[in-house]
Amino acid sequence: MVEFDLVAALVGGFVGTVVMTAMMMASKKAGMSDMPPMPLVLGSMMSGDRKKAMGIGGMLHLIVMGTIVFGIGYGLLFDALNNDDWWVGALIGAVHGVLVGAVFMPMMPSVHPRMSKELVGTGARGGSQTEAVDANGDVQLAAPGLMGANWGGMTPAGLVLGHVVYGGVLALLYNAIT
């Protein structure tokens, strides 16, 4: 029987976020995605200064969203489903990734003050330019499009896979701790 465990949810969420973030960074370094760093995407909603945005966004991404909101959310789902096996976490992660890509990413330009559809398609690497600086020195981001496709051809697969790994890692740790 699976019962909700706050510590397990927070630890699993934190480690899952670290692993998923490392995957995102590696895929960008390997040229598989031009996705801007998630801390920049989140933080630039509050500041146009890249350094400040990365700091604010890093805290939002790692602690608030990945550890607290989604760590607890997944833990509550494990309790509701009475199953915290790794594959259940991975399946929840797959659904999470598809929802993020299909619902939230396409609507980001309507709520993000520094996101523009005009940035897409002007990059030097044959892909899209996902980050720029405007005349005021504020960071500007390209709109991700459906499943993040505007951020590079492999981004949609990486988006879903990253969330699958997040959920699987979270579940493994949740199961081990409880």
Mean pLDDT in runs of 10 for the chain (178 residues)? Answer: 97 98 94 93 96 98 98 98 98 98 96 84 52 88 94 94 98 97
pTM: 0.93
**Can you give the pLDDT at residue 126?**
47
**Which residues are CB-neighbours of 158 under 8 A, at least 6 positions away?**
23, 24, 27, 32, 33, 35, 148
Q: Specify the DSSP class assigned to residue 111.
A: H
**Can you give the pLDDT at residue 158?**
96
What count of Cα atoms within 13 Å lies in the side-chain half-sphere of residue 163?
A: 20
Using CA atoms, how far apart are residues 86 and 119, in angstroms rounded to an integer?
Answer: 39
- Burial letters 130-150, b for 16+ CB under 10 A, else e: bbbeeeeebbbbbbbbebbbb
**Can you give the pLDDT at residue 55?**
98
Q: Specify the DSSP class assigned to residue 140.
A: E
